[in-house]
């Protein structure tokens, strides 16, 4: 995932000032500065450090430590957003991307909800829209490792990005991730479990099929046709005799 240019700190404060001047109600530049400007300097230094790390694994570990110094700012921005006050904020945008990178899904979706609600741009970081980034990063992580993302996070991501415009291929990946997660849950289904849904294993399998069929509708090359065939065969075996 691409990061901001090394000139971020120099240019971002001016962009936030312009946003603050045009939008209403907003956080004023006076309330954002000097702490915001200082944090941009820190962010610029952190990005330079990350740029010099070649290992993706080491970059992610570095971000886990770095992200802590921005949390107070981000939490304040989220509280202000809840009160209807928000401005373009490159620190919030950066932390959305970093929280996705380190797979802190709860924090990522909290920031993501703010970013989508207030139109915070990620343009200085990536060329994709925020909705696309959120959906694709969560989906890719789940497809790569089915245990990396829990079912609740996948559903929350689907709901959060439902009205966002994005390539069909990206939404197809999210539906694939949801369908495959449900299929895995059906495979491990315990009918005696406290959380067993009404309808039991067949209900979970039907939900998985629905998600996977939706994925194919969006992108017939999404790679789930064999999963669909397997689920259909297993459902036939579970069907009561006629």
pLDDT 10s digit of each residue in the chain, 242 long? Answer: 433 333 333 344 344 434 444 444 444 433 556 889 899 999 999 999 999 999 999 999 999 999 999 999 999 999 999 999 888 999 999 999 999 999 999 999 999 999 999 999 999 999 999 999 999 999 999 999 999 999 999 999 999 999 999 999 999 999 999 999 999 999 988 776 656 566 788 999 999 999 999 999 999 999 999 999 999 999 998 877 66
> Same domain, yes or no, for 133 and 237?
yes
Q: Is residue 115 part of a domain?
A: no
Residue 242, pLDDT score: 65
Same domain, yes or no, for 177 and 239? Answer: yes
Q: For residue 35, what are the CA distances in angstroms to 1, 73, 85?
A: 27, 9, 17
CB 55 within 8 A of CB 88: no
Classify residue 144 by burial, with Cβ atoms within 10 Å: 0-12, 13-18, 19+.
Answer: exposed
Residue 138's pLDDT is 98
Residue pair 35/60 in contact (Cβ under 8 Å)? The answer is no
Please give the structure tokens belonging to residue 111: 């920031």
Q: Is residue 13 part of a domain?
A: yes
Residue 119, domain member (yes or no): no
At residue 74, what are phi and psi to the nearest 5 degrees? -65, -45
pLDDT at position 196 is 59
My answer on whether 95 and 158 are in the same domain is no
Residue 33: predicted pLDDT: 65
pLDDT given at position 47: 97
**Distance of alpha carbon 48 from alpha carbon 50, whole angstroms:** 5
Question: What's the structural domain count of the chain?
Answer: 2
Give dist(CA 76, CA 72) in Å, integer: 6
Note whether 72 and 160 are same-domain residues. Answer: no
Please tell me whether residue 40 adopts helix, strand or coil conformation: helix
Final residue of a domain: which of 55, 75, 108?
A: 108
Among 73, 108, 143, the domain boundary falls at 108
Question: How large is the greatest C-alpha to C-alpha distance in the chain, in angstroms?
Answer: 74
Looking at residue 160, its pLDDT comes to 98
Residues 20, 87 contacting (CB under 8 angstroms) = yes
By the 8 A CB rule, do 192 and 207 touch? no
Token pair in block for residue 52: 């010099």
Domain boundary at 108, 136, 160, which?
108
Tokens of 232: 């259909």
Residues 7 and 101 in one domain: yes
pTM attached to this predicted model? 0.82
For residues 104 and 132, membership in a common domain is answered with no
Q: Does 192 lie in the same domain as 231?
A: yes
For residue 3, give both structure tokens. Answer: 């990061």
Residue 15 within any structural domain of the chain: yes
Q: Let me know if residue 116 belongs to a domain.
A: no
Instruction: Tell whether 32 and 3 lie within a shared domain.
Output: yes
Q: In sequence order, which residues have a C-beta less than 8 Å from that of residue 167 and are 6 or more positions away?
A: 132
Same domain, residue pair 34 and 104 = yes
Q: Is residue 121 part of a domain?
A: no
What's the domain range around 166? Answer: 128-242
Beta strand residue intervals within 37-85, DSSP E = none
DSSP state of 146: T
Identify whether 123 is part of a domain: no
Are both 101 and 157 inside the same structural domain? Answer: no
Evaluate whether residue 114 is within a structural domain. no
82 and 183 in a single domain? The answer is no
Same structural domain, 135 and 200: yes
Short-list 197, 202, 207, 208, CA closest to 234: 202
């Amino acid at each position: 995932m691409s990061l901001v240019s090394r000139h971020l700190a120099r240019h971002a404060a001016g962009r936030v000032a312009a946003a603050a001047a045009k939008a209403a109600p907003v956080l004023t530049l006076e309330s954002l500065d000097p702490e915001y400007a200082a944090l941009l300097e820190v962010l610029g230094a952190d990005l330079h450090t990350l740029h010099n790390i070649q290992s993706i694994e080491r970059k992610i570990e570095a971000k886990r430590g770095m992200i802590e110094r921005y949390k107070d700012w981000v939490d304040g921005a989220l509280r202000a957003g809840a009160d209807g006050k928000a401005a373009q904020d490159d620190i919030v945008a950066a932390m959305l991307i970093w929280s996705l990178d380190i797979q802190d899904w709860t924090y990522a979706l909290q920031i993501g909800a703010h970013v989508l609600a207030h139109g915070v741009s990620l343009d200085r970081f990536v060329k994709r829209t925020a909705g696309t980034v959120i959906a694709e990063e969560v989906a890719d992580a789940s497809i790569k490792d089915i245990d990396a993302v829990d079912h609740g996070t996948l559903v929350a991501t689907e709901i959060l990005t439902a009205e966002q415009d994005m390539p069909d291929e990206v939404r197809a990946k999210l539906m694939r991730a949801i369908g495959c997660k449900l299929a895995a849950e059906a495979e491990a289904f315990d009918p005696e479990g406290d959380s067993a849904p009404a309808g039991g294993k067949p209900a979970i399998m039907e939900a998985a099929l629905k998600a996977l069929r939706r994925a194919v509708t969006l992108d017939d090359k999404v790679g789930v046709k064999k999963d669909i065939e397997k689920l259909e065969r297993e459902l036939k075996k579970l069907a009561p005799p006629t």
